[in-house]
Amino acid sequence: MRAVSLKTRIRLNPAVKQALCKFCDSPLIEGQSCTSAIENKSKGARKSWADMLVRKCHTCEREKRYPVSAARPKRKTDRGVGDGGGSALKQKQKG
């Protein structure tokens, strides 16, 4: 299916793309041909939007990472906390 989409330049649905190994083109079936885990390699896993779904193919032993959709928090300026951490040059230009 992937080869056909590459030849005909058709976009595959992301769910279909995640169901096939990008390296060996084998179907990824949870528990049989792949292992899935959620990782967060941010400092102490503090960033909830940095969660990654890691799928490891048992055929070629390679890993593919997909972002888990989590909304990022608003910036400090949008939340009304502080001035956004501007530099001294910006403050000098204002005053």
Give the residue-averaged pLDDT of 66-92: 69
For the chain, the structural domain boundaries read: 2-71
Query: Which residues, 6+ apart, have CB-to-CB distance to 24 below 8 Å?
Result: 57, 59, 60, 62
Predicted model pTM: 0.60
pLDDT of residue 84: 54
Asked if residue 14 has pLDDT above 70, the reply is yes
In whole angstroms, give the CA distance from residue 72 to residue 51. Answer: 11
Asked if residue 72 has pLDDT above 80, the reply is no
Cα 52 to chain centroid, rounded: 5
Give the residue-averaged pLDDT of 58-73: 84
